[in-house]
Each structure stands twice: as structure tokens, then as C-alpha cells.
Chains A and B, each alone.
Chain A
Amino acid sequence: MGEGPLVLGIETSCDETGVGVVRGEVLLADAVASSVESHARYGGVVPEVAARAHLEAMVPTMHRALDESGVALDDVDAIAVTVGPGLAGALLVGVAAGKAYAFAAGKPLYGVNHLAAHVAVDVVEHGTLPAPCVALLVSGGHTHLLHVREVAGGIEELGSTLDDAAGEAFDKVGRLLGLQFPGGPHLDVAARAGNPAAIAFPRGLTGPRDAPYDFSFSGLKTAVGRWVAACERAGHEVPVADVAASFQEAVADVLTAKAVRACRDVGVADLILAGGVAANSRVHALARERCDGAGIRLRVPRPRLCTDNGAMIAALGARMVTTGVPPAGLGVRTDPGLPVTGMAPAGR
């Protein structure tokens, strides 16, 4: 412990301004400023509101991270910044800041894939990633099943969602049930008082001929909408807790069944559950239950590290330094649509 490259990570892909500091696999600081409350009244993240908030929060968040870690900018070995995927205007604030800090401090700049970083952050919780492993990455914008040989550049996608991301389904169903934005955490709470077996909602793409590692949540979202509408038409009060619990059960069931199957098929004994939806209590609990039953070791970062933060960017940056990935340099570009397997786009 206490060894490895000292890396500062900057994250601005969505509505959290994050700056984290990691030494090798040890977390030294994790400062986050969120603009989530500014978006709540719109019912979703407004890109321009997020970008404005990043500009205001960048320097203060940097100071909090440096203070928390007790590290000076001059001491770090490298600066890492999210280059994609994410909201275009939001990404640019972080990348511009990352370049300026790297240039001013004379440090190499690494361009980090936000999605891979969600997986990489688990090292600060549970140590070096087992290689290979399978990762289920579930967030507001993404749902991917990954075969991870090396998190810094050796990721193969097994499957992904064909329509809505799992977290997006949570937000949409949350809105349908009159819950606050973001839907995920509020729905999780509402579901605790409900019966997960009350309503048999559909499990998308789980037929014998369906793609085994792909996901579809738009049919489920539609089914919940129809069920709620029918209930209202009949003049009944919508049983919010039961609908929430039954919907959440359907999502957790499909996610964990496919993840466990992927581990078996690929022949790995370790599953990493990552991304904002990994913080959902039922997804986490069912994954634990099924992994235990199948003899698979499950790793899930604490909820705070599942949502967007700078520590995850620093963690993957440190891994990139360790494995000899070359720095991206000051000309690096952003890529709002960067695929989960993609690396930083070089400058011209």
C-alpha cells in the first residue's frame, strides 16, 4: 500500500464536478460538487445548466481534493481527465481545466474513458482487479456487460442495452409514479415498502433465442406505464410501493441473471458491479445472492464510488500510468460518444 503513481482525476461528463486523488490503488481524496438539485425541477439533466455549474465548481472542487489528500499539485505524477462519453459541453469544461492544470504544473495528461473508470474505481475498495473478470456497468446512460482482461485498454463488450439504459428506466418510471428526480434513489426507497411479486412485469430479452448478454428496458417501462394507466382508469389508487418494488425486481432479475450467465459462459469467477445503478439496494442484494449460489466472487464499490466522481478517473489514470499507456497530451479531444472499449481521441 502507499505505492504506485500519484494521480489526480477530473470528472465532468454529466452533472457532478469531481476531483479525486489516488496513489496506485489507494484513495486519498474524492471531492464532488453536484448540480443535481438544479436539474430536479426540469425532471432531467439540462446540459447547459450542468456545464455552467462545472465552470463554477471546478477550482473550488480542485482545492477541496488537494486539501483532503494533503497533496500539492506539484507532487502528482499525472493528471487524468474524462474525455468521454458524456455531455459535450460538460466534458469540455473538465478537459480544458485538465489541460491547464497539467500544463501549469508540468505534468503528463491522460485521457480517461468514463465507462471503464466506473469499473476501475473498485481497486480503491477491493484492491487489484482480478484478470480476467466480468463487469456489469449500469448507470443512467449506460448498460453494458463487459469481459475485462485489462481495465486500461483490454475491455471487450459482451452485450449492452438495445434501447433505454437501466438507470434511464428508473428515472422514467420514477417520473411516472410521481417520484422526485433522480428516479433511481427515490424509487429504491419507495420499493422497500412494496411487494416485489405483486405485479409480474416483463423481463426483456430473456427468451431462449434472445441475445444472451443484451438488454432491453423500454418494453418494461411501457408495461409499467400501461399498468399504472389501467389502474387509474379503473379509479384505483396506484399502489406506488408495489409498482416500484415489482419494476425494480424485474430490472434486478434481468441484470443479475445475465451477468451470472456471462461469468459462467466466459469462464471467470469474478463479477464487478459498477455504475450508479449498482448502488440500488435490490440490484446489489440479488447480485450477491446469485453470485453466492453460482460460486462467483462479487465486488461492488460503496455507493458513493458507484455514482460519478473524480476518484474513478484518478484510479483508471493510475492504472494507465502503471501499465504504460502513453499520455494523451495537451491536444487531446473529447468524444461525447466514446464507446466503452474506446481510448482517448488524439489531437490533430
Chain B
Amino acid sequence: MLVIDTSTPAVTAGVVDVASGVVLAARATVDARAHAEVLTPSIAAALAEAGIDRRDLTAVVAGAGPGPFTGLRVGLVTAAALADALRIPAYPVCSLDAIAAAAGPGRTLVASDARRREVYWASYAGGRRRSDPDVSRPGDLAGRLPELGCTAMAGAGAALYADVLGLPVVAPAYPPVGALAGLATARVLERAPPEALTPIYLRRPDAAPQAMR
């Protein structure tokens, strides 16, 4: 399967063998302004490295965020278009879940950079997400940490606001290809119906109109 995530500055593409879970190729280019420029060339390079023809792909798995909107959409529209053109199913996964899965089964806070001095976050225990992803100021989130009972934190947002949040930072910073794939493996194996790649926005659009037609 092909794996894509653009919910963070790491433009991520990889190829994973569904049956074994082995990551055949993975690329992550950290550049918050180049998602659309880099992604499809990265996909092409990952497929070449894995020695897989695009027509032999069986599914596309895409991180649905939460993440900054513009980059997130690039990954989701790319995944949707590839799945459409190759006539294979696409499945969304929560990008924070992938970071948590890679961080391990402890009581973990996962936070990614939401820009505007906020983080997208969710808390995990025993490998399960304990509530829907949310967007908060690091200071407000720090105030909730005692109640959440987390003992470590992962994600680039956690590292960025480590001084405010105060928990030990563990890897990974960005959603890894293998973890993203793992979240969808069951659906791919049982040939579950394809799902809409709906972005997890968590914020309403800024309503400042701009004329241009």
C-alpha cells in the first residue's frame, strides 16, 4: 500500500507491504512550504525505491490530520486522486494516532504544531486515544495535564513547547510511514469499503473575503 501524510512540515510518502507490515521505502521531506511541490515526486521516488509499479498498489492510506490546512489538503487530494485514477480504495487515519502508535503504549500526550501559537493534540493510554483531537494553546493544555495523567509526550508540537508542557519528550516528531500503515492494515486486508478522505480541520475558516475571479 501507498502511505501519505502531509499534516506536519514533514512531507511523508512511503510504500508498505500489507501482509508483512514491512516498510519497503519511506521519504520525509521537512519543508512546510513545499507540500504540493514535493509530494508526488516523493511518491514516485518511494515506489521506484521499493521496486513497486504504481499499478500494483492495492490501497492508499492518508493521514487526515489534524494539521495546518493547506499542506493537509495537498496530501488528501493527492491520495484521493491517486486512488481514483488507480481504481483502488483509500483510507484515512488520524495523524496523531500514528505518532502515538510509534511512541509506544504508555500514557502519552501527542501534540503537533498548529501554528498561531497553538497545538493539535490528543492523549493516549494503553495504545488508545482517550478523546477526540483538539486544538489548544500550549499554556491551556499544560493546565490540563494533571487530569490527563500523561507521563511523556511526542510530536513536533510537544518538542516546540516542551518548556511550557513540561513532560519528557519521546520520539517520533512526525507520523512515521510504518505506524500510519498499521492503523489501516486491518481495513486493507479485509477490503473494507473505501472511505472519504475528510480532513480533520478543528478550526473554522477565517472569513476574510478576497475578490479574484
Contacts and interface: CB of A to CB of B under 8 A. Distances in A.
Interface in A94-108: 95-97, 99-101, 103-105
Interface in A298-348: 307-308, 330-334, 347-348
DSSP class of A's interface residues: helix, strand, loop or mixed? helix
Interface in A60-105: 62-63, 73, 86-89, 92-93, 95-97, 99-101, 103-105
Interface of A: 13-15, 39, 42-49, 51-52, 54-55, 58-59, 62-63, 73, 86-89, 92-93, 95-97, 99-101, 103-105, 139-141, 165, 167-168, 171, 182, 276, 307-308, 330-334, 347-348
Given A58-B77, A97-B81, A331-B37, A103 B211 contact: no
Given A47-B208, A55-B77, A348-B37, 15 more contacts: A46-B209, A51-B70, A52-B199, A58-B81, A59-B81, A92-B36, A92-B73, A96-B74, A100-B79, A100-B85, A103-B40, A139-B213, A140-B213, A182-B213, A333-B36
16 contacts: A13-B212, A43-B209, A46-B205, A51-B70, A54-B73, A54-B77, A55-B73, A58-B80, A59-B81, A62-B81, A87-B212, A92-B36, A96-B36, A97-B81, A103-B82, A141-B213
A347 B78 CA distance: 17
Given A42-B207, A100-B85, A347 B37 contact: yes
B77 A97 contact: yes
B213 A96 contact: no
Given A46-B207, A46-B208, A51-B69, A96 B39 contact: yes
Given A55-B76, A89-B70, A99 B36 contact: yes
B107 interface: no
B209 A39 contact: yes
Q: Which of B37, B54, B81, B213 has the most CB of A within 10 A?
A: B213
B81 A100 contact: yes
B210 interface: yes
Nearest to B39: A96
A331 B36 contact: no
